[in-house]
Structure 1
Amino acid sequence: MRTAIYVAQLAERYGDLLAPLVSVGHDDFARGMELFRRHERLGVFDAALAAAVQRRDHVRGVALADRAFAGIPALSRFEPGAPDFAERLGL
């Protein structure tokens, strides 16, 4: 059974993970269109998100189940349903 203290600590750790959320700017979108042209499985907005992540040193990757992100250079994908998801994120 999870105690309130444990749940609060876990929520704080998730908050730390969400802190590096970023906006997608014009340069990210332009770079994203380059990725979109090279990676057939990526959608337009997914490509812009991938570019935004690649351009920021403080962001380690994306937490998505979408496998279209696999194989994008300099982009780590953390799959939420994976058994090692929490461990890979340091939770």
Structure 2
Amino acid sequence: KCENGWSQHGGHCYLVGLQLSTWDEARWDCKTRGGTLTSIASDLEESFVSETILQSAHAFWIGGHDRRTEANYMWVDGSKF
């Protein structure tokens, strides 16, 4: 069960933060809450995340990055796009 204010989908809990910040700040905020930025693993999860974001936020961060190699994106959990 997810905490109050969070959404549940596929055994995971999601929280859309309302505070604008940098990607690093958003990642740190997730870490302090015991989570991570979202790594999208399926079309179903992508649909859920997209709908959730569209209903509640104008700007958002997800867990994709190209920090190791420019233009070679991966998720924060280490999986590839």
Q: Same fold (TM over 0.5)?
A: no
Structure whose CA Rg is larger: 1
Structure with the bigger RCO (C-alpha within 8 Å, sep 6+) is: 2
Higher helix content, 1 or 2: 1
Higher strand content, 1 or 2: 2
